[in-house]
Structure 1
Amino acid sequence: MDSPQPGSEFRIVIGELIHELEEHTKRRDEISNRFIRRHDLVKVWQNESRIHRLLYNDQLTPEDVHDIQENFIAILSILVSIEAIDSIRNFRSTFPIGTISDRDLPLEREQIEMFLPDRPALVRRFDDVQCEFCPVPIWRTRSLQSVPRKCRLPFTDPPTRLGVGGFGEVDLVAIAPRYWKVDEDADYDVAYKVACKRFKSDKDFSKEAENLRILKNSLTKQDHILQHYTTLFHDPYNYILFPYAENGDLNQLLLDGGGYYLFHERFPHVPPVGDPAVVKPLLHQCWALASAVNWLHGGIQVDTKSIMCAHLDLKPDNILIMRDNDSIVGKWMISDFGISAVEPHRDGSRPALSVGYRYRLLTIETEPKHQAGTYLPPEAIHRGAMAAAADKVGRQSDIWAYGCIFSEILAWAIGRAYLVDKLADERTYGATSDRFWEESFGQNLSPQPTGYKLRESVSAWLDEVRDSPERVLRDWAQAIKDILITDKQARPNAEKLVGYVERVCSSCDLSPEVIDDHPLTPYHTPPLSSPSSGSTETGQNPEKTSRPISHGINPGIARYLSRTARQGKVHAAVVSQDKIEIFGLNLSQDEVSLVSKMPLPPKWEDAGVVIEGQYFAAWGYCKAEKKRAVSSLLRIGDIYSDFEPSLPVNQGLLGSVAVSCRGIFALVRDKDIVLLSWPCTPASSVNRRLIIPFYMDQTFTHAIFNEAGGLLFGWARGQKQESLYVWNVEAEISDVPDFVVHYSLQRFYLNTQVIPYSSGRGCILAGDHNKFLAVSLKNPSTGLPGIERLDETIDVVASCLVGNDQLLGLVSTRGFRTRLCLRRYKIDHGGDGDTLILQDQELCNINIPREFKSTGLMRAYQEEGAITVVLWNGTSILISKGIKEI
């Protein structure tokens, strides 16, 4: 018989091997990035009987089998993958000992033709496939590693984009187990995450790689400078690998996560706003950064040379934050030396380190919050007659940038992201940029500026902080003023900078009684006033606020309060680690009772829950399955019956679930939303997939039905646009959304939540930092590239909608003693769109304990011409009744 026939034992083994090889292949759906690890090949070929069954024509000895397992499993795997039957059948004669082996991969075409003569198609397939079996180990100990073009980089998953800019792209990649080599005898048996910067330009790569090499080779070291691991060349790109910053960067921290992550998950030990305990950890990291700048400016020593480095792109985006068990705000590291200027020190001089055009280019832009140039000093700007003075920039530029960053950290310490953003807005008021300086004009009438000065809004704010009762804040503001000197010659050097920051740090220890007894005073804090009694108009029902109900409900991992009330009763759902509990809240009698309880697999984590009327959904993953990295558990159901244990759809990578009071469930995944109806049998399910248009590079963040249940709202976000998609689910559901509005991205991401009108055609977009926008569905959909999102700022602690025409906001007077009041905003449905108008300055007063200031849930219910407001902070519930409708 010339060759084994289909259906024979040989064919069965071929099929088994092809299946197992595919199962072990990483990134199998990416043709140009697929690869299989050597260790997985060893597993596939460890069964000796399988080798005998495959190579049945050869009379194999135990030594032959061992030799194949040691030296030929990759070549055999390639031949199996391309089904080169004749070469497999005559394997030992084709590959005698001492000739080609796995160590020679990848092979040149001429070598392949030697064992596949006159088979051009198989030669081509072998040449194409062999790279999948040639992942290259990455050596941390090598300064530059050139990876052959026909080999693969051992990155196990598609890269996650961390940043993109003019000089390179930065991705988070995971290096396959055993392929990250620390030295000859040490590697990792798990995937190792690194930040990978990819360059298209050899010139840009060479510039940054040389700068990093100098920093790494310094005889002196600095612990807050991010050192690179190694560099790679894999045609056509150059790469630099860095440690991965698990806690992101300082820009993201200053935004309280800003849509990049949930702040309390990354920084669980940071106290709430106003707590002075955050000051000392922040100042310690500021001192560390100042010391790192001082080292860059004059502390580098390579061989016998003293080296100076001006970073020239110091900004929060380039200050990475590593996890650190000794710091509640992480460990801050200066990174990105792509445009830095490095020169040998010349005794007795303070050179400017000229860098030409590169200074005005940004190396990394991870959706920056600031406009380009926020941290640039005055001397970096070429402007008319002053151009000669701006030709050179240098280490003084880093001092200015540090002072700007230092001021934003102070703002965050006092008022978190809200104050950081507020000050940025004030810097841009009446200006074309948000820089920290502005032009000054002399007494003459010339339109040309005569110099520069600290921007008035910055100076006024610092003066206000210098009047603070807290000494540490006064010293901090003064230090910033001493640093932000517009004349670069008069600006302090890095050594003095360290001294300024050290003195501020000392204030923490000199005045502990002040820090302990006073909260940090937010910017523009209104004076405290005593709570006034709620007055009512003649004929109005008096407003009544219950005492907080200590319901005894375990706050659990996730909780939700239905927007739908039935006969004065509302349902609430709580997910704990081992159960789902449904409670009933009686609004008239201020009572909470348990309705039902359902057991769950133990130790749920990262869970979510939602309930509307009698229908609920809970999702998350179990600790035992955590390594799967998917939301692997989903429970949906009716509170009056059991939940649905199995669904007629694969929930996939589930992000969240939306629930309709009509019993429709929307399973939100990255690229689609799956609709199901209750009960979820194949016959009764809606079972529709709503997808993002293929040309939109976006992912869904969440979805929500309106209270009436007739409209489904989905929010999606991408690199260029964020979009609102709306489907009418009352009629036949279309694959195309019934309404779409695309928004161009802001200066920074807003973590947006959609709040639909109860039954009307519209919604409120509620973003971070109290940004609100009313959206009417009566207007036509918008196209690309997207319209500007003109949000309004409403300073509220929590908010909720009442019907289609009112937004209620819970407002806090700022200060140590908390007083909350309700404000009502009317939604004006005008011809040009919907807008929010303040209706009542103070609708009513609510005197509540301080812990309700951080209330997590707020709902409002309409009944018999009055509104009832419910606040739930997890451990207690507060009910305010009798608020008259508009």
Structure 2
Amino acid sequence: MGQCFSRLYRKHSIFAGVAPRAFPTARKYQRQLEHTDADSARAQSEEQFDTRATSNGTLHANPQSVDIDTIRDDIFDVLKAGMVGKKSEEIILPEVVSKIWAQNHHRKFYISQTWYDPEWDRTNFMDEMIQIMSILICINFRHWDRFGAIFVGHRDRRDQNLPFHLKTLQQEGFLGRSEGAMFHENQFAFCPIPIPEQEDEFVLNNEERLPWIDEPKLIGEGGFGQVNKRTVAKGFLRFQDRTTNVEPRAVAVKTLSGKDAQQGEFNNLKELRQCLSDNTRIMVNLVTMVEKSDRNDIYHIVYELAAYDLNVFLTKMRHRLRKKRHATATPERTGSANMWPGDLISESVNLADALDYLHNRLYSTKLHSSLSHNDIKPENILVVYPETTTKNELYPVGQWKLADFGLAVIKIKRLPEGPSKYLGANNTLLVPSHSQKTHRTERQKSVSNAVPERDPGMYTAPELEQETPQKADCRSADVWSFGCVLSEIVTYAVNLDHHHVKSFRKSLEKSIPADPKFYNQTSKDVKPEFIKHLSSLPDTAQKATRIPADVIWTTQCVDLIKRIVVKEPGNRLDPSDIRLGLSQIAHSMHSGREEWLIHSLPPPLNDTEYHHSSSGTYKLRPYKGSTSERERETESVGA
């Protein structure tokens, strides 16, 4: 963006030359609109009108009572206060501009001009040029007597024609060289471009501005880029079904640059979007926006914003954190106050279905493809709370979505010219030496409010760790990783206690040689510590059982996991079999939900509490602890 010539303008900010004022943040955005309405009513009560010139509801200012310069300065100040977004990329939304010019006090600015026609009041003709007038006020335009000739007399010089080309603005008979350059540079703040949902890249013009109404907030950073939370203004996120966001919408924006961006995640997501049709548990991008450069293009991949990832859910999900997860995800709205183990198993079914979809059911118009994720771990499973106004739609544990396809590999099963260059004939990949390097050496945070704290290789399948290059079935490796994650989900579900998951991980780290993986690094066998933990889960459920069925479903899950996490890739279950097994378990659990919730209620607010008796039933007896102690105990089980 070049240097602007306005005395009120400094590079990158149309209000930089005036006294500083804090711009409204996204949280203040709605209040800004409400204040504008209030200012409008106050202005109408204070101003003077020429009653002789007022008829048929039209407004005519009394020339003797109008100070054009004062009104112009007032409009300038209100426009400045209405700017939102990052300081170097401020925008003012059309709806805010409309509210400003709807005030009778501000309308006097153009009603008092010699070129104004009173008949225009009946058709709201001037509403077609309020953004243009706002831009002119911001660049300190002084030739308002020429406004009628420059704009009013030309049908192609309306707000709907913004932005104007620089050469057009600088033409003789338009704004001329100097003011044309100023107008060109300032106009983009008044006409932010919509963000379209689409498969192909969306190329950004470096002069245009996006409809962000807040400052970027860093929520993730790793070897391949960083992730920021941004908020899109109402109506500026345009989906493929021709709907738009009816409220400001928070999204996650992953920024990548260089060779990795060009050949990695964006291409995988593009292929995925062309194949996906009915699986909502695979997190694909809304759009990828590209800043073209002579060196390396910069990719901004826009995703639906998750509350956090599954690692946070399994290891840090205390009561206070759940309250903060998402603006629309209060415990009352999601039903999370009544979370029970069946909710976690049901979401595990959806994850297994997503994995089966990627491995076996990925179809485009003419081709059948297969995708190996190659990085399945809790950090890459995002927890999303859908925006909904339907009270009956509850999401006690959120919706879990498989995400982060930066290391994924896609094989086209039907190609006109030979096999895929990425995978072998049996969906195999040539694994390089020291294959742990294929996982990020710098931990990548997922697209959420989470902060992962573990090495990315913990869930790697044993066959991918080779001294010399060997072929490995990537899909079977995904199954191993999924089974490891499932073991942690079941560990959490038994007690709804994140401490239990942490203890499980520590037991794996105490192996010889010490490392956090689920297999022995030397023999590649499944760790005995892992098998011992799985075998202990039914006993754990027996000791802490709320209903007898807890032991049954826990045993069934353990048996299923032992058929998934096995050394030989060919002996592991297929994702479709995993989905079927989990579905049967979830179905058998369903009838016990109400009984489970009754026996898992937190201590009442009176002096009684539930206690477990030797017979396996719950009885009430006086609670002797303090209120704070009771709250701490309630938090420990994730109430």
Q: TM-score, normalised by structure 2?
A: 0.70
**1:148-172 Cα distance to aligned partner (Å, 9 max, x none):** 2212111112233332222233333
Match of residue 304, structure 2, among 237, 243, 263: 243
Equivalent residue, structure 2, for 1:472: 553
Match of residue 39, structure 1, among 95, 104, 107: 95
1:406 deviates by 0.6
1:32 deviates by 1.6
Change (3 A) 1:13 1:403: same
2: CA distance, partners of 1:848 / 1:285:
33
1:461 is the counterpart of 2:533? yes
1:307 deviates by 0.8
Larger radius of gyration between Structure 1 and Structure 2: 1
Equivalent residue, structure 1, for 2:390: none
**1:425-467 Cα distance to aligned partner (Å, 9 max, x none):** 222225553111113xxxxxxxxx4x31112321211122255
**Alpha carbons 1:341, 1:355 under 8 Å: kept:** no
Equivalent residue, structure 2, for 1:411: 491
**1:31-87 Cα distance to aligned partner (Å, 9 max, x none):** 32210111222222235774553475532224667686344322221221121213x
**Alpha carbons 1:45, 1:69 under 8 Å: kept:** no
2: CA distance, partners of 1:20 / 1:233:
33
Equivalent residue, structure 2, for 1:508: 589
Provide structure 2 residue ranges, at least 5 long, that are not aligned to the other structure.
1-64, 387-392, 543-550, 635-639
2: CA distance, partners of 1:135 / 1:305:
38
Match of residue 628, structure 2, among 845, 857, 861: 857
**Alpha carbons 1:13, 1:53 under 8 Å: kept:** yes
The amino acid of 2:305's aligned partner reads Y
Aligned pairs (5 A) from 1:20-419: 20-27=78-85, 30-47=86-103, 50-51=106-107, 53-54=109-110, 56-62=112-118, 69-86=126-143, 88-95=144-151, 96-98=153-155, 100-114=157-171, 115-117=174-176, 119=178, 125-140=182-197, 143-182=200-239, 186-201=243-258, 203-204=260-261, 207-218=264-275, 221-234=278-291, 237-245=298-306, 247-257=307-317, 261-262=322-323, 267=331, 269-270=335-336, 278-323=340-385, 325-345=393-413, 350-354=426-430, 359-361=438-440, 364-365=445-446, 366-382=450-466, 384=467, 387-389=468-470, 392=472, 394-415=474-495, 416-419=497-500
Aligned residues: 517
**Alpha carbons 1:202, 1:238 under 8 Å: kept:** no
**Alpha carbons 2:84, 2:91 under 8 Å: kept:** yes
Q: TM-score, normalised by structure 1?
A: 0.52
2: CA distance, partners of 1:477 / 1:142:
40
| Higher normalized contact order (CA 8 Å, seq sep 6+, divided by chain length) | 2
Aligned pairs (5 A) from 1:300-699: 300-323=362-385, 325-345=393-413, 350-354=426-430, 359-361=438-440, 364-365=445-446, 366-382=450-466, 384=467, 387-389=468-470, 392=472, 394-415=474-495, 416-429=497-510, 431-439=513-521, 449=522, 451-466=523-538, 469=542, 470-505=551-586, 508=589
2: CA distance, partners of 1:254 / 1:873:
18
2: CA distance, partners of 1:513 / 1:15:
65
Change (3 A) 1:76 1:489: same
**Alpha carbons 1:342, 1:353 under 8 Å: kept:** no
**1:716-750 Cα distance to aligned partner (Å, 9 max, x none):** xxxxxxxxxxxxxxxxxxxxxxxxxxxxxxxxxxx
**Alpha carbons 1:322, 1:331 under 8 Å: kept:** yes
**Alpha carbons 2:194, 2:238 under 8 Å: kept:** yes
1:254 deviates by 0.5
The amino acid of 1:279's aligned partner reads P
2: CA distance, partners of 1:355 / 1:100:
61
2: CA distance, partners of 1:551 / 1:494:
49
SS of aligned partner of 1:454: coil
SS of aligned partner of 1:171: strand
**Alpha carbons 1:140, 1:183 under 8 Å: kept:** yes
**Greater percentage in strand:** 1
Change (3 A) 1:319 1:210: same
**1:251-282 Cα distance to aligned partner (Å, 9 max, x none):** 1211243685448975564579xxxx822222
**Alpha carbons 1:148, 1:234 under 8 Å: kept:** yes
**Alpha carbons 1:196, 1:241 under 8 Å: kept:** yes
Change (3 A) 1:187 1:514: closer
SS of aligned partner of 1:196: strand
1:202 deviates by 6.4
1: CA distance, partners of 2:599 / 2:96:
60
The amino acid of 1:13's aligned partner reads I
Change (3 A) 1:184 1:368: closer
Change (3 A) 1:263 1:491: farther
The amino acid of 2:357's aligned partner reads W
**Greater percentage in helix:** 2
1: CA distance, partners of 2:298 / 2:281:
28
Equivalent residue, structure 1, for 2:17: none
**Alpha carbons 1:338, 1:363 under 8 Å: kept:** no
2: CA distance, partners of 1:504 / 1:290:
13
1:418 deviates by 0.4
2: CA distance, partners of 1:873 / 1:309:
44
**Alpha carbons 1:178, 1:187 under 8 Å: kept:** yes
1:147 deviates by 3.4
1:550 deviates by 5.6
1: CA distance, partners of 2:479 / 2:556:
18
SS of aligned partner of 1:239: strand
1:326 deviates by 4.7
2: CA distance, partners of 1:64 / 1:185:
33
Equivalent residue, structure 2, for 1:711: none
The amino acid of 1:376's aligned partner reads T
1:549 deviates by 11
The amino acid of 1:320's aligned partner reads L
2: CA distance, partners of 1:99 / 1:507:
67
**1:348-399 Cα distance to aligned partner (Å, 9 max, x none):** 95321458678312653442132221111112224x4xx333x545111110
2: CA distance, partners of 1:874 / 1:203:
47
**Alpha carbons 2:524, 2:567 under 8 Å: kept:** yes
Q: Percent identity?
A: 20
2: CA distance, partners of 1:343 / 1:226:
19
Change (3 A) 1:71 1:392: farther
2: CA distance, partners of 1:203 / 1:550:
59
**Alpha carbons 2:97, 2:130 under 8 Å: kept:** yes
**Alpha carbons 2:538, 2:554 under 8 Å: kept:** yes
